[in-house]
Amino acid sequence: MEDILKIADKIIHNRLLIGTGKFPDKSLVRKVLEASQAEIVTVALRRVDADSADENILDYIPESCIVMINTSGARDADEAIRIARLGQAFGCGNWIKIEVISDNKYLLPDNTETLKATEVLVKEGFTVLPYMSPDLSMAKRLVDAGAGAVMPLGSPIGSNRGLKTEELVRIMVSEIEIPVIVDAGIGWPSEAAACMELGCAAVLVNTAIATADDPVATAEAFSLAVRAGRTAYLNSGIAVNESANSSSPLTGFLRNIK
């Protein structure tokens, strides 16, 4: 059976989601998306300028990709809701990454305001993917509110520190029925693979790709790592032993040679 990811009514084959911030040249965005074969891309609304061919990031995104507006800059639920509605009015569709941040130092999401925004936007027909601090109780509330997936952070935004919330994410994966997508902090393809080996449905990467020496090659590496991690999760079944277990016989060979 083909391994696919379903969010709302969309079938997703590539489990690497990519953000569009921090690229030194917007033309790299298209090259990165094509090299990685990513199908979902996040865009901050402030980068959407329909009146400017040079500044409108949407011009660099292949039509095959699902554009997910993120509510970057929102400090509370009301601002996030307003950004989502503006994005829809600009023709960006109804996929929304809720990002509500009132903490200016660590940029950690405000789970309570995120839940409020999710409840309103789901009722308005949006497909909502909330970015959140990993918390099982809040994740369950977001599920009840109708979120299409939950997106716990791996470590602070743009830090490239990796999956520092591993145990909390592991618990969420085991208890949440909708997709769990790690967002923020993933700095290396190996870390993306580790997320997938936990059973995460996908990962979202931006900074590690956009600021790499070769963003295109790095995006391809992340895509391969996500695929490898997912394959390992589905098929490996590796047992962990406390003691050594030789892969070849240790007795009876040399003593039989005369």
Q: Catalytic site residues?
A: 97
Q: Give the Cα separation of 38 and 64 in Å (integer).
A: 9
- Given a contact cutoff of 8 angstroms between Cβ atoms, the answer to whether 208 and 218 are in contact is yes
What amino acid occupies position 150? V
CA distances to 2, 190, 201, 238 from 15, rounded to whole Å, are 13, 15, 7, 23
Query: Exposed (0-12), middle (13-18) or buried (19+): which is 241, by Cβ within 10 Å?
Result: exposed
- Given a contact cutoff of 8 angstroms between Cβ atoms, the answer to whether 27 and 59 are in contact is no
* CA neighbor of 5 nearest in space, from 227, 255, 205, 238: 227
